[in-house]
Structure 1
């Protein structure tokens, strides 16, 4: 029996106790009079009298009383029209703003209106706000299976990157790929509306059984090919008169030999226990182009990080930094991101690198001041970039976590003006009127 059923049962027992107490307070005749009444009723029955109508009326009255009691129980137990939803994480009470991570197995969020959100393994998300009509869920990375109970006034929002999926009552899967900056929505039942800075038409409707993939990132060009090594041209031979050129002597041949091309020298035998050969210089680029970040990073580490830091493009440095971050190598990730900022200042890659440096400080170390500085750098360089809503929302969290109330109010006002329906709108509205 779950907690909600226990609450209903306890409320039913309290209603029954109140009814019993009310009956006890009713005025009752003395015992002798009640006994005489019983004798008279029995005599009437023995003479053919009919007491069934009285019993029927009593049964109807009792049935009506029970129905009224049950209606009262459920009216008190269910959330009222103004009560915000609550939710539980695998049976434990959930809190607004708390991160939920599904590591090796699926994690489920059960909401008080009957809706459910399942986090696939490797997913990180959080409930950013709850209200009487729905909730807001921010998908940091990974995939969610969402089943929202349909009501006429349901208001649910699932946010991933710069996109928002507005739900009325439906079932769907949604995935946010942080590396490709791509949102995927696959409808199972019902329909949703998807909003975002690059969604056309605005408020695009997606109905079952449709699927949709969206990205605001600029398409990446193919991996550049390494130019062939420069070879100095041979100097032209000196001009010589034809009669001055002596005929070339025929090659000396051993008896029985043919004039075949000389065989190349044999390769030296491989030594037992020798280290594996180094990766070809272009293999990491091929792996990046194929989306194999782990293999690309392994190639780079075999070649030597310093070799790549000075020769990779800005987008390549950001991709390699993300591979190192996902591979739990934060120091290497920071070197790659900082190289992107140093070598390609002012570019999209440099701005994205600043955002990721802020995210590493936010998620990995809880270094709120450092994280906000990097988010501020991204917002200054790309105020309308694809990651701007998340950078501003995280900046708001950083100010709140440091108890910088004036700064939090300033950021909250900026957020509400730019993204009134964004994933952090609930938090922004709460902090906008906060006291010092």
Structure 2
């Protein structure tokens, strides 16, 4: 039968495809065992060839070479396949992707299977958002990390803090995310990183040892008026506190304490604004509770309400935080503050209660109102996690495609790629 060259080539391709499929189904032994098998096979064939008559020696040698080449190809094929994702341990115990890790009174260390290590300073809260064969993604909610990534040619690590992402190949550095000041600080010990963010040039900011930088996307707050001194004389107080002419009637015996209480309340009212301007969220919240939460809910500006919500959230008062965030949305609908409040409401549902459906709804509100906002990468990434946790596969693939199109190198890019490919 006369076979044409192209028919032979087509047959060869089909045979190769079947061989590749068969190899995929085989359980692969360890690399060292595969090498030993190649060496043993070659040695056995060589011994048989040396004992055979000279007429067969050349043929057996060629056969041995072919077998060795075939095993070598299988070995190279196996090594070229992607490796298993990294694993990590938290102070010796197995770690889980997505689980928050908090360092309270002492430092906590995360040890990764590639030799890399992340240390959480006291007061820090972070979580590993994804792991892959080439690296991991770490989300820093607050506090400071000491990161040491083992250098390899194709290593890919991302440390995210607020709207910023620190892309790492192999290096050692300290990174701090200040939630109150909304500021990222990076201090290089060795190597080089690149910081990406909405208020950084598109190519990112390269930082090399021993350089240190501080970055923020927050607009500077206006200075608050000085707090009134309750001990000051009436003439030194604000005009609004002076009695009007129509109120100049003789005071009742109970009026002096009442007059003393008014400037004290006003002092606390001015005080919480001063504390917010200085970034002292805890002190601001304490003053607000003295003035009266209901009073402040009706008087504070949008950004102030969001800051007070964050103060209450960090003080572990989620119900009070929700009141501030909801007030920002009701009183300042359509503003940046209202959008930020939606994000933080989603964040509380996500972190505090694992209420994935509620969290995803709030993140979707933020993305609808501020699709290119500073918090958009994190809102979209967390939405992706919510869809995965809820096993909404079609929704997860849709969000994964959006994330990869907008943030191909983002902190959730590995998870997005896996979900876009149909992984659960």
Q: Same fold by TM (over 0.5)?
A: yes
Match of 1:221 in 2: 222
Does 2:204 match 1:203? yes
Distance 2:214 2:129 in 1: 24
Distance 1:129 1:316 in 2: 34
Kindly indicate whether the alpha-carbon contact (under 8 Å) linking 2:339 and 2:370 is maintained by their aligned counterparts in 1.
Answer: yes
Match of 1:432 in 2: 420
Does 2:272 match 1:284? yes
Deviates more, 1:124-133 or 1:338-347: 124-133
Deviations 1:18-75 (A, max 9, x none): xxxxxxxxxxxxxxxxxxxxxxxxxxxxxxxxxxxxxxxxxxxxxxxxxxxxxxxxxx
Deviations 1:262-287 (A, max 9, x none): xxxxxx999xxx9xx64533111111
Root mean square deviation, CA, Å:
3.0
Distance 1:121 1:232 in 2: 51
Structure 2 residue ranges without an equivalent (≥5) = 1-29, 34-80, 228-237, 246-254
Superposed displacement of residue 152, structure 1: 3.1
Kindly indicate whether the alpha-carbon contact (under 8 Å) linking 1:196 and 1:202 is maintained by their aligned counterparts in 2.
Answer: no
Distance 2:220 2:353 in 1: 32
The equivalences for 1:277-426 within 5 A come to: 278=265, 279-426=267-414
Kindly indicate whether the alpha-carbon contact (under 8 Å) linking 2:226 and 2:274 is maintained by their aligned counterparts in 1.
Answer: no
Deviations 1:95-130 (A, max 9, x none): 333322222321111112221110112222222233
Superposed displacement of residue 292, structure 1: 1.3
Superposed displacement of residue 81, structure 1: 7.2
Distance 1:435 1:163 in 2: 27
The structure whose Rg is larger is 1
Deviations 1:273-326 (A, max 9, x none): x9xx64533111111112111111111111111211111111111111111111
Deviations 1:69-100 (A, max 9, x none): xxxxxxxxxxx973432221111222333322
The equivalences for 1:54-93 within 5 A come to: 82-93=83-94
SS at match of 2:213: strand
Distance 2:423 2:136 in 1: 26
Match of 1:98 in 2: 99
Match of 1:191 in 2: 192
User: 1:269/1:417 Cα in 2 relative to 1: closer, same or farther (>3 Å)?
Assistant: closer
Superposed displacement of residue 175, structure 1: 0.9
Pairs aligned (count): 324
Kindly indicate whether the alpha-carbon contact (under 8 Å) linking 1:358 and 1:375 is maintained by their aligned counterparts in 2.
Answer: yes
**Bigger fraction of residues in helix:** 2
Deviations 1:149-204 (A, max 9, x none): 22333222211122111112211100112232221101111211111121136221
Match of 1:69 in 2: none
Distance 1:365 1:405 in 2: 22
Match of 2:148 in 1: 147
